[in-house]
Amino acid sequence: MAKAVRYHKQGGPEVLQLDEVQVGDPGAGQVRIRHTAMGVNFVDTYQRSGLYRCRCRRSRATRAQGSRRRR
């Protein structure tokens, strides 16, 4: 299982929690990326806080860096 920092309700940093998430196998024409760095923009914090509307139960990071995993 992979881990993801997500929120299930809107609020401050205290609503962030570490969840285990199921990651399926890549399909045809897809690759799996192992993220080594993640970034958060102001819009991510605005959505989490409720300033901007969004669906909850989200993993928020709009910038990522990683490497393709070979099988």
| pLDDT tens, position by position, 1-25 | 788 888 888 888 899 899 998 888 9
Pairing outcome for strands 63-68 and 16-21: unpaired
Q: What is the pLDDT of residue 69?
A: 62
**Dist CA 71 CA 57 (whole Å):** 30
The whole-model pTM stands at 0.62
54 CB-near residues (< 8 Å, 6+ apart): 47
C-alpha distances in Å from residue 59, one per residue of 28, 29, 70, 71 = 24, 24, 24, 26
Q: What is the pLDDT of residue 57?
A: 54
